[in-house]
Amino acid sequence: MKLSRVGVVGAGQLGRMLALAGYPLGIRCMFLDRSAGAPAAQVAPLLTGELEDAAQLAALASANQVVTFDWENIAGSALAPLEKLTLVRPPRAALEASQDRMSEKALFSKLRIPVAAHAAVEDKEQLQRAIAKLGLPGVLKTRRLGYDGKGQFVLRGPQDIGQAWMAIGGRGLIYEKFQQFSREVSLVGARSATGEIVFYPLSANTHGGGILHYGIAPFVNRKLERTARLYLKRVMQALAYVGVLTIEFFVVKGRLIANEMAPRVHNSGHWTIEGCVTSQFENHLRAICNLPLGSTRALGHTAMVNFLGKMPDPQRLLAIDGLAFHDYGKEPRPGRKLGHCTILKSRAIERNSALANALKLIEWT
Ligand SMILES: Nc1ncnc2c1ncn2[C@@H]1O[C@H](COP(=O)(O)OP(=O)(O)O)[C@@H](O)[C@H]1O
Ligand SMILES: [Mg+2]
Could you tell me the distance, in angstroms and rounded to a whole number, from the CA of residue 272 to the centre of ligand 2?
18
Q: CA-to-CA distance for 56 and 73, rounded, in angstroms?
A: 16
Q: Do 335 and 301 touch, CB atoms closer than 8 A?
A: no
List for the chain the helix, strand, coil content (%; round to 5).
35, 30, 35
pLDDT of 86 reads: 98
- Per residue in 267-292, is it b (16+ CB within 10 Å) or e — as a string? bbbbbbbbbbebbbbbbbbbbbbbbe
pLDDT for position 110: 98
User: What is the block-wise mean pLDDT of the chain (365 residues), using blocks of 10 residues?
Assistant: 97 98 98 97 98 97 98 95 98 97 98 98 95 97 93 95 92 97 98 98 96 98 98 98 98 98 98 98 98 98 98 98 98 97 98 98 96
> Which ligand is nearest the CA of 148, by number?
1
Q: What is the pLDDT of residue 327?
A: 98
Question: How far, in Å, is the centroid of ligand 1 from the Cα of 248?
Answer: 9
Domains of the chain by range and CATH? 5-88 (3.40.50.20), 117-177 (3.30.1490.20), 183-361 (3.30.470.20)
> Residue 222: what pLDDT?
97
Per-residue pLDDT at 196: 98
pLDDT score at 352: 98
The protein residue whose alpha carbon is closest to atom 2 in ligand 1 is 178
Mutate to test the pocket of ligand 1, among 144, 152, 153, 253 (most ligand atoms within 8 A of CB): 152
